[in-house]
Structure 1
Amino acid sequence: MDVRTMCLGLLVKQEATGYEIKKAITNGHASIFYDASLGAIYPALNRLTEDGLVTCEELSQDKRPDKKVYRITTKGMNTFEMALLQPPTADKFRSDFLAAMFFCGQMPESRLVEILDEREEFHADRLAALKELEQESQSVGETFLTRYAMMYHASNVQFLKENRYLLEADQNEDDNAEAVQ
């Protein structure tokens, strides 16, 4: 989903400033599946405004710059609904962790163990945070999304616990082969 469509979707839920949209993407349920910077959000909001898909109201604030509050229009709602009718594209998956594991034979065993420990801790921490986020779910979609992410992180923790020996054993074999030479 492109950033414009994501902004429309969040504005369907409620009016918001660009900062509030960023906060929803960073800290809310959307953080489970989406990431966008303010550098992408504000140009998207400007374009949505130009295209008549959202309105922007500037509210003055004491001792602060004016606040721009965005609201979705009927045209924006129709555009968002049409976007939801399109089949989702295939998920794109990129992982620095898996890239490091692909090349783990070229790293010291101590670094491999450290990376595996850090990754397991990351998934365990994320799982705990998601359990808290689930309590804030206000729709069936948010509950489904949160549980999906919880299963993802729980299975990662389990997989790492059960399979790290494969990499560590391979690393020990490499260390033994180097010692013989």
Structure 2
Amino acid sequence: MKGKDIILGLLNSKGGLTGYQINDILHSQLRHFYDGGFGMIYPTLKNLEKDGLIYKDRIEQEDKPSKNVFFITESGKEEFKQSVNKKTEPDIIKSDFLMKLYFGEFLEPGKAIEFLKEELHRKKADLSDLKDNLSNWDANGMSDDQRFSAKYGIEYYKAVIKVIEEHLKNKMDGD
């Protein structure tokens, strides 16, 4: 799904959100399968508003800057409904780590092991974060499909960790 569709979906399912709240959801609940951030969010919100798919309410706050809360319009809901019901696209994995290991024959001695350890640490941290967050999200209400996506992420990280650990062991044993 494109960034605009994801933002429409979040506004459709969660109601009014600020750009900051959208960013928080992308980096906590969705980060194991979607890469997006402020650089995508605000231009997309501007375009969605220009196209009449969302609108914003400016909320004045005492002792704080005012904030914009975005809401989906009826035409935005229709646009999202069409998008979410289209055929799924194949997953595309983009990994600097995997590209460097692919060209491992050109790495300095010990670099492959270093990269494997770094990625193992990252994936274990990602797994831990996802597991920790799942209980919080569950407590705040999740649909079965939202829970499935989190569990899918957990199983993905477990599998990747296992593969990295096996390859790291082989590398360290001298294979």
TM value normalised by structure 2 = 0.88
Q: Tell whether 2:50 aligns with 1:50.
A: yes
Contiguous gaps of at least 5 residues in structure 2: none
Q: Tell whether 2:165 aligns with 1:164.
A: no
Q: Tell whether 2:62 aligns with 1:62.
A: yes
SS of residue in 1 equivalent to 2:90: coil
Q: Following TM superposition, by how much is the alpha carbon of 1:109 offset from its aligned partner in structure 2, in angstroms?
A: 3.2
Aligned counterpart, 2:89:
89
Matches within 5 A, 1:1-181: 1-12=1-12, 13-27=14-28, 29-135=29-135, 136-137=137-138, 138-167=142-171
Determine the C-alpha separation between the residues in 1 that align with 2:143 and 2:109: 45
Q: Following TM superposition, by how much is the alpha carbon of 1:167 offset from its aligned partner in structure 2, in angstroms?
A: 4.6
Aligned residues: 170
Indicate if the aligned counterparts of 2:60 and 2:66 stay in contact, CA closer than 8 A: yes
Aligned CA RMSD, in angstroms, stands at: 1.8
Determine the C-alpha separation between the residues in 1 that align with 2:64 and 2:132: 33
- Structure 1 or 2: larger helix share? 1
Q: Following TM superposition, by how much is the alpha carbon of 1:107 offset from its aligned partner in structure 2, in angstroms?
A: 2.1
Contiguous gaps of at least 5 residues in structure 1: 174-181
Identity across matched positions, percent = 28
TM value normalised by structure 1 = 0.85
SS of residue in 1 equivalent to 2:60: strand
